Structure 1
Amino acid sequence: MMYAKLALRNVRRTARDYLIYVVTLVLSVGMFYGFFSLVSPYYNATLPVPIHLDVLKKMMRIAVPLVGLFVVFLMSYVNSYMLRRKQKEFAIETIIGMEQKTVAFLFFLETSVMGAAAILLGVLLGMLLSQIISVIVVQSFGENYHLHLSLFPDTFLGTVIFFGAIVLLLGIKNLFAVRKLKIIQMLQNSQKGVENIPLTRQVGKWVVVCTAVSTVILGMMAALSCLVLHYPAALFRVLFLTFLAAGFLVSAVFFFLAGRKKRDGSGPLMALTIFGAAEGIALLVLSPLFDSLVRQRIAIQAYLTMPPVFALLLLVFSLIAFFSNLTWWLSKMIRKPSARYYRNLFWLGQIKSRMGTSSKTMGVISCVLTAALVLFSYLPVLALRIQSYQLALSVYDVQVGTMYRAEESLLPTGTLDYDAITDYLEQGGYSVTGKAQGELYFLANEDIGNGQKKIPFLAVSLSDYNELRALSGLEPAVLPNDTFGVSWNREAVETEMQEIDRNIRQIQVNGIVLNKAQDADFQDSIGINLFTSRTKAVYVLPDVAISDLRIATTFYSANTDKPLTYEFAKQFEENMGTYQRELGNFPPESAFIRLNTLQSNEGISNMLLLSLIGTYAALVLLVSSFTMLSVQQLTDAIEQKHRFDIIRKLGVERKECQKTARRQMYFWFGLPVLMAIVGSIGVFSYLLWSNYNEIIAYVLPSQIGIILTLSYISFIIVFGCYFVSTYYLFQRNIEKH
Structure 2
Amino acid sequence: MDSRSMYDVQINSRYNDVYEKNDLPTGNYEVVTDFLTEEGIAVSADCAFSLYLPNCEDFHDRVKHEFPVVAISLSDYNAIREMLGYEAITLEENEFTTQWHTTATTDEQEEFIRSHAVVDTDVGRLTLSEQASYQEAMGETLYNSYTRVVYVFPDSVCQNLLSVNRNRYIQTSKELSYSDAAALENRFIKVYPELSENGVGYSIRLSTLQINEAKGMNFILKTAMIYGAVVLMVICLTILSLQQLLDAGQYRYRFAVLRKLGVEEQDIKGLVMKQLGVWFGLPVVVSIIVSAIVVAYFLQSVSVEISAYIGIGALITQLSITISILILLLVCYFLSTWILFRRSITE
**TM-score, normalised relative to structure 2:** 0.91
| Alignment equivalent of 1:649, drawn from 260, 272, 278 | 260
Change (3 A) 1:520 1:407: same
Change (3 A) 1:514 1:574: same
Say yes or no: does 1:638 pair with 2:249: yes
Letter matched to residue 262 of structure 2: G
Give how far 1:608 is off: 1.6
Change (3 A) 1:667 1:582: closer
| Cα displacement string for residues 209-239 of structure 1 (whole angstroms, at most 9, x for unaligned residues) | xxxxxxxxxxxxxxxxxxxxxxxxxxxxxxx
Please show how residues 66-81 of structure 1 align to structure 2 within 5 Å. none
| Alignment equivalent of 1:520, drawn from 120, 127, 132 | 132
| Alignment equivalent of 1:728, drawn from 336, 339, 345 | 339
Aligned to 2:172: 560
Give how far 1:727 is off: 0.4
| Cα displacement string for residues 376-418 of structure 1 (whole angstroms, at most 9, x for unaligned residues) | xxxxxxxxxxxxxx33121111111213527636995232443
Say yes or no: does 1:481 pair with 2:93: yes
Mapped contact 1:397–1:563 kept (Cα < 8 A): yes
Which blocks of at least 5 consecutive residues in structure 1 are unaligned? 1-389
| Alignment equivalent of 1:684, drawn from 288, 291, 295 | 295
Structure 1 CA distance for aligned equivalents of residues 13 and 25 of structure 2: 11
Structure 1 CA distance for aligned equivalents of residues 110 and 25 of structure 2: 35
Aligned to 2:46: 435
Please show how residues 462-541 of structure 1 align to structure 2 within 5 Å. 462-531=74-143, 533-541=145-153
Aligned to 2:240: 629
Letter matched to residue 256 of structure 2: D
SS in 2 for 1:408: coil
Higher strand share goes to which structure?
A: 2
Give how far 1:610 is off: 2.1
Give how far 1:442 is off: 1.8
Aligned to 1:330: none
Change (3 A) 1:709 1:420: closer
Give how far 1:532 is off: 5.5
Give how far 1:586 is off: 5.0
Please show how residues 380-395 of structure 1 align to structure 2 within 5 Å. 390-395=1-6
Could you list the structure 1 runs, at least 4 aligned residues long, displaced by more than 4 angstroms after superposition. Answer: 409-412, 582-586
SS in 2 for 1:625: helix
Aligned to 1:396: 7
Structure 1 CA distance for aligned equivalents of residues 280 and 331 of structure 2: 10
SS in 2 for 1:474: coil
Letter matched to residue 558 of structure 1: I
Mapped contact 1:401–1:416 kept (Cα < 8 A): no
Letter matched to residue 493 of structure 1: T
Structure 2 CA distance for aligned equivalents of residues 698 and 413 of structure 1: 32
Structure 1 CA distance for aligned equivalents of residues 282 and 29 of structure 2: 64
Q: Percent identity?
A: 33
Change (3 A) 1:451 1:635: farther
Change (3 A) 1:555 1:412: farther
| Cα displacement string for residues 436-461 of structure 1 (whole angstroms, at most 9, x for unaligned residues) | 01111222234234332522211111
SS in 2 for 1:429: coil
Mapped contact 1:410–1:586 kept (Cα < 8 A): no
Structure 2 CA distance for aligned equivalents of residues 529 and 706 of structure 1: 30
| Alignment equivalent of 2:71, drawn from 445, 459, 462 | 459
Aligned to 1:59: none
| Cα displacement string for residues 266-317 of structure 1 (whole angstroms, at most 9, x for unaligned residues) | xxxxxxxxxxxxxxxxxxxxxxxxxxxxxxxxxxxxxxxxxxxxxxxxxxxx
Give how far 1:713 is off: 2.9
Change (3 A) 1:582 1:539: closer
Aligned to 1:423: 34
Mapped contact 2:194–2:203 kept (Cα < 8 A): no
Give how far 1:672 is off: 1.4
Mapped contact 1:406–1:448 kept (Cα < 8 A): no
Structure 1 CA distance for aligned equivalents of residues 22 and 315 of structure 2: 41
Say yes or no: does 1:543 pair with 2:155: yes
Structure 2 CA distance for aligned equivalents of residues 411 and 708 of structure 1: 52
Please show how residues 99-114 of structure 1 align to structure 2 within 5 Å. none
Mapped contact 1:399–1:595 kept (Cα < 8 A): yes
Give how far 1:670 is off: 1.2
Mapped contact 1:447–1:456 kept (Cα < 8 A): yes
Structure 2 CA distance for aligned equivalents of residues 609 and 592 of structure 1: 25
SS in 1 for 2:263: coil
Structure 2 CA distance for aligned equivalents of residues 709 and 506 of structure 1: 48
Structure 2 CA distance for aligned equivalents of residues 607 and 534 of structure 1: 26
Greater relative contact order, per chain length (Cα 8 Å cut-off, separation 6+): 2
Give how far 1:648 is off: 2.9
SS in 2 for 1:448: helix
Change (3 A) 1:412 1:720: farther
Give how far 1:477 is off: 1.9
Mapped contact 1:407–1:450 kept (Cα < 8 A): no
Whichever of the two has the greater Rg, that structure is 1
Count of residues in Structure 1 that have an aligned counterpart in Structure 2: 346
Structure 2 CA distance for aligned equivalents of residues 475 and 655 of structure 1: 72
SS in 1 for 2:247: helix
Mapped contact 2:49–2:76 kept (Cα < 8 A): yes
**TM-score, normalised relative to structure 1:** 0.45
Structure 2 CA distance for aligned equivalents of residues 411 and 591 of structure 1: 17
Give how far 1:492 is off: 1.1
Higher helix share goes to which structure?
A: 1
| Cα displacement string for residues 160-189 of structure 1 (whole angstroms, at most 9, x for unaligned residues) | xxxxxxxxxxxxxxxxxxxxxxxxxxxxxx
Please show how residues 61-100 of structure 1 align to structure 2 within 5 Å. none
Which blocks of at least 5 consecutive residues in structure 2 are unaligned? none
Mapped contact 2:53–2:71 kept (Cα < 8 A): yes
Aligned to 1:604: 215
Mapped contact 1:442–1:458 kept (Cα < 8 A): yes
Compare 546-555 and 722-731 and name the one that shifted more: 546-555
SS in 1 for 2:2: helix
Structure 1 CA distance for aligned equivalents of residues 338 and 195 of structure 2: 73
Structure 1 CA distance for aligned equivalents of residues 191 and 245 of structure 2: 69
Please show how residues 17-416 of structure 1 align to structure 2 within 5 Å. 390-403=1-14, 405=16, 408=19, 412-416=23-27
Mapped contact 1:412–1:553 kept (Cα < 8 A): no
Give how far 1:685 is off: 1.0
SS in 1 for 2:181: helix
Structure 1 CA distance for aligned equivalents of residues 170 and 229 of structure 2: 42
